[in-house]
Structure 1
Amino acid sequence: MTDTTTEGDGDAHVRPFADWLREQAGGKSHDELSDAVYDLVQRVKDTGKKGSLVYTINIGPMKGDKDVLMIDDQIKLKLPEHDRKASLFYTDKVGNLTRTDPNQLVFESLREVEGGQLVDVQTGELREVT
């Protein structure tokens, strides 16, 4: 470690990172990181996929006074995404998407009703779908 402070007995002491983090941005960074880790864990458990959390700290001298440092930070959270269900579509003769296969024969006198039955539109007769 190159940057240390000296205590009264002359031994170098490095301040714990967690102590600094609790003070950065008035404690906001610590709180945001805590929330981000929690959200990441929940989403990983929910999706079964990996995610990531990146914490970046930028430190630079204040113009005109090298003993005063400007510190800003950035939190980037990449939550794993849920799988999205795909849909099946066909293209019609002019290239538009349609849910109906344009090569399929159309039965104008039958339509599907709840319960897996077909109704003959002309006679009103119900038929079981097998």
Structure 2
Amino acid sequence: SPYWDRIHSFRLVLGLGSVSSTLRPFNVKLTTLRGRIVDMIARAEWSASGKKNVLFFAVDDLRPQLNAYGVDFIKSPNIDALASKSMLFERAYCQIAVCSPSRASLLTGRRPDTNHVWQIAADEYW
């Protein structure tokens, strides 16, 4: 079915910044992504209405110091406009202090000691 074809062909590519201006992607295995987010994306895309979208921002070191969260001295009109039309999450917790394991935990809904992502996996690309 198109739903399962989409799931099996799904590949998450995360960009890691290097000393140069290029981004070097690394692939996260599909087995680590068979969690809630993959199912949510596929179901949203193949829903009967066809109008649901999932937009996920992964931004390092962005605290909720935005107008959308009630902070009035920060000017962020574009993010605030998007937030006014979106579901805004007001509580987030980091499972681990390193970027890649934290993102893998967020995407899979599993703790880092369960999905065995412990460090930035880009060492093999340098």
TM range, smaller chain? under 0.3
What TM-score, normalized to structure 1?
0.27
What TM-score, normalized to structure 2?
0.27
Q: Report 1 or 2 for greater relative contact order, CA contacts < 8 Å, sequence distance ≥ 6.
A: 2
Q: Per residue, is there more strand in 1 or in 2?
A: 1
Q: Per residue, is there more helix in 1 or in 2?
A: 2
Decide which structure has the larger Cα Rg and report it.
Answer: 1
